[in-house]
């Protein structure tokens, strides 16, 4: 898998922005990607050094609208801890 196929999108939330001060960044990743692929993809795309990768599987959530039943899809996210002093610039534009 190519690096751009592993990292799908950054996760933009208050909790993920709070982590940027500590050097941890959160991404939505491909559901079949593992920690080594995520580490290599982040290092290749953003030219930083990754110290640690935590992977979380977000389970599918059942939803109902009247009598129609369905589910929100399951997905995978990764919290990436960078070496001290490294930054990813796409997260720097937001103000808290």
SS3 label, residue 1: coil
Are 30 and 76 in contact, with CB atoms under 8 Å apart? yes
Q: Where are the domains of the chain?
A: 3-84
CATH of 3-84, one of 3.40.50.2000, 3.30.1330.50, 1.10.1240.10, 3.30.70.330: 3.30.70.330
Helix (H) or strand (E) holding 35: helix 35-46
Distance CA 22, CA 84 (A): 9
**pLDDT tens, the chain, 96 aa long:** 898 899 999 998 999 989 888 999 999 999 999 999 999 999 999 999 999 999 999 999 999 999 999 999 999 999 999 999 898 887 666 555
């Amino acid at each position: 898998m190519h690096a751009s196929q592993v990292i799908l999108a950054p996760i933009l939330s208050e909790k993920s922005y709070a982590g940027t001060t500590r050097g941890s960044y959160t991404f939505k990743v491909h559901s079949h990607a593992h920690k080594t692929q995520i580490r290599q993809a982040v290092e290749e795309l953003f030219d930083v050094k990754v110290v640690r990768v935590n992977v979380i599987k977000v389970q599918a959530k059942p939803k109902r609208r009247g009598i129609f039943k369905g589910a929100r899809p399951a997905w995978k996210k990764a919290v990436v801890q960078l070496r001290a002093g490294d930054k990813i610039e796409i997260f720097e534009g937001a103000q808290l």
